[in-house]
Amino acid sequence: MKKEEVKNWFETLQDNICNELEKADGKAKFHEDIWTREDGGGGRSRVLTDGNVIEKGGVMFSAVSGDLPEKIQKALKLPSCTFFATGVSIVIHPKNPMVPIIHMNVRYFETSTGNNWFGGGIDLTPHYIDQDDAKYFHQKLKETCDKHNDNYYPDFKKWADNYFFIPHRNETRGIGGIFFDRLTENEKFTINDRFNFVKDIGSLFAPIYTYFMDKNKDLAFTKQEKEWQLLRRSRYVEFNLVYDAGTKFGLETNGRIESILVSMPPLAKWEYDFKPEKESKEEKTLNLLKKDIDWLTS
């Protein structure tokens, strides 16, 4: 497996996802920016706004290279070296609060010292948690993981629960999903095995999210439910700016700031000391923002 093969596959993945999202939205088209990074590499940033279903969505591809910054060398426990990193990152913010926010990232990283690995994940952030939707989402993830290894889903789900957690709020960002990092070659898996797994996860994005778009886009919602959506978006902002590793990596490697912050919603709201009404849909959602929920049986 060569890095050019991975890069080319990620570019094709971006094309396919953009095409499927445009068809499902039925109105808006992605605007594309081609950019180059001064220190090496570049990417294609595609953003869709003001669609029928999608209020703002970004499907970003990048392939960057250069000297590995000293701070990242220390974090990864690597000597001075050069690096290559490529991947696709997606965040979709819908108009209707009954349609969930979704995020996916699939990526590959290698260094001149011979290190290489895959990472990524996919997670769902409903404004209102629907247990049937949660079960559908996690069932699709489990089916895909099980094709490669029986331990992938339980291990990567737990990793997602811990990663997509907002400590200062003591709540998960949403209903989780899977998260994995530094999947490299070992005695059990070749690097091509890891790549095939990442391909299947990447290919899962469009059918999963277009399912939720089609299912929930026409559901009625109230002004109160729209206000709740803005509050939930603010939690998304807090996580991405304070804890998200991809945001930090982009900033620390002199990445393109517009592409790094494309995950931000078009509108969000912070209300002082907000508390939902007892036994409301909002309170029920908050009570389900916890780690280690078995969504397949709950």
Q: How far is CA 264 from CA 74, 75, 91, 199, 252, in A?
A: 29, 26, 8, 26, 19
| Tokens read off for 206 | 């469009």
The residue from 31, 93, 103, 138 that is catalytic is 103
d(CA 173, CA 240): 10
**Catalytic-residue membership of 127:** no
Q: Which residues are catalytic?
A: 103
